[in-house]
Amino acid sequence: MGLTSRVYIASLPYGSFALDERGEVVDYELGPRDMDEAVEEALKIERGEPNQALTRLAEKLKERGLTDVVVEVDDEARFFSKMGFNVEVAPAAEPFYKARLQMFDLAVKTEFAKDEKEFAEWLFNVEVEYTRRKLRSAAEKRDMLAAQAVRAIDDIDKTINLFIARLREWYSLHFPELNDILKDHELYAKLVAEIGRRDDITVERLKELGFSEQKAKEIEEAAKNSIGADLSEFDLNAIQTLASIITQLYQLRRQLATYIEAVMKEVAPNITALVGPLLGARLISLAGGLDKLARMPASTIQVLGAEKALFRALRTGGKPPKHGIIFQYPDIHRSPRWQRGKIARALAAKLAIAAKVDAFTGRFIGDKLREELRRRIEEIKKIYAKPPKRKREERKPARPAPRPGRRGKPRRRRGRR
């Protein structure tokens, strides 16, 4: 490869090339074959930073005494100017066009790939990963949207609990038997909001609201024989207004849950695959963001949400909590007490990996992490199927003998004889 007095610098996905006026390769430096490293190099170029291949090529050309280069973009021009080159920017120059036409051939000739098929597969994987990272970068601030939404859901739950307790107590003045028959809070509020007066309760209307025929007949029979007081239309309107607000809150909660699911699949797909959108959003909320969660060790993630219990244990010397908000994970709260800590530790370890992947790479490995966690949980349930034996309690020290009285006789203990 002979050297001319002036070269064109073309940056391709797999390296940087110095070309002459005819588009022939004068010199080159290849980039990494590893997909993650290749994507990082591409992102450097986009940020206006020189990648490793371009830096090595510039140093090689400088050692060979070359002073004039032609580049495509201003960022490369600034870089070569700092290196002491005379730089010209010509984005539409013919050598650049030829370099891209023979990109596949150059990949094989430089032994970056053994054939064009292998290079095409490598290029496809890099482009997909590059797109994933760009999407993650654009959506990285959306993690706090999910955190705020899940906090809103928690506030709605608290409000519903307060309102439904008040509604049940209030409506029980008119139809007290319904309180024991119907435990579902949303159906209770819907019945009051849609029907209201117990004399208007019929099997047909209840079935329209989603009740089974058996439950509808039970409610209708109770309404006919109710001992509750009769209320005026004015009083019932006030009760039904409160019931309508409760049903709207339930609807709003479902809408927010759907929104969180969509955002979490976009922002933190691996965390979502492990613990679901709501618990994942709560973890991000408690951590203060996906980036902060990714930087936490597994031991901290394990007790997120149980900070008060942890600090109390540290202050008093008691037992620290084995889990925080991740207790909501089904395999933890449904397991026996002696297995929960071990399952929580395994889950926290996988969450730490998932958070780092979601925050820094954007690749999806959720299925793999979930399967590994499932095998570990099954192993824990098999090894620790029975509760551990309790340690024998230390023998209490003997009660000290009573102090002698004035005349040397033992004092009589007070209490029952």
Counted domains in the chain = 3
Question: Looking at the predicted structure, is the pLDDT value of residue 342 above 70?
Answer: yes
Chain centroid to Cα 126, Å, comes to 25
Confidence of residue 140 (pLDDT cuts 50, 70, 90): low
Is residue 198 situated within a structural domain? yes
Residues in the chain: 417
* Residue 62 falls inside a structural domain: yes
- pLDDT tens-place string over residues 78-125: 888 888 888 888 877 888 888 888 889 888 888 888 888 888 998 898
Q: Does residue 171 sit in the same domain as residue 246?
A: yes
Whether residues 170 and 248 fall in one domain: yes
In this structure, of 91-95, 219-223, 275-279, the range with the lowest mean pLDDT score is: 91-95
Whether residue 124 lies inside any domain: the answer is no
What is the residue-averaged pLDDT of the chain? 86
274 and 229 share a domain? no
State the Cα angle at 251 between 249 and 253, rounded to 5°: 70
Asked if 388 contacts 338 with a C-beta cutoff of 8 angstroms, the reply is yes
Q: Tell me, what's the pLDDT at 404?
A: 58
Average of pLDDT values for 315-327?
Answer: 87
Is residue 351, in this structure, part of any structural domain at all?
yes
Domain encompassing residue 288: 268-383
Say yes or no to pLDDT of 139 above 80: no
> Mean pLDDT: which of 110-124, 164-178, 323-337 is highest?
164-178
Whole-prediction pTM value? 0.60
Other CB atoms within 10 Å distance of the CB of residue 349 = 19
In a domain, 394, yes or no: no
Most confident of 76-85, 112-121, 213-222, 387-396: 213-222
- CATH number of the domain enclosing 179: 1.10.287.4070
Dist CA 376 CA 374 (whole Å): 5
- Specify the pLDDT at position 417: 41
Residue 242 has what DSSP assignment? Answer: H
Q: Report the first-to-last Cα separation within the chain, whole angstroms.
A: 113
pLDDT at position 167: 96
The predicted model gives 12-24 an average pLDDT of: 85
Cα–Cα dist 45/51, whole Å: 6
The winner for highest mean pLDDT among 96-110, 286-300, 387-401 is 286-300
My answer on whether 279 and 332 are in the same domain is: yes
Examine residue 123 and state whether it is found in any structural domain, yes or no. Answer: no
Range scoring the smallest mean pLDDT among 132-146, 275-289, 385-399: 385-399
Note the helical H segments in 209-289.
Answer: 213-224, 233-267, 269-275, 277-287
**Would residue 346 count as lying in a domain?**
yes
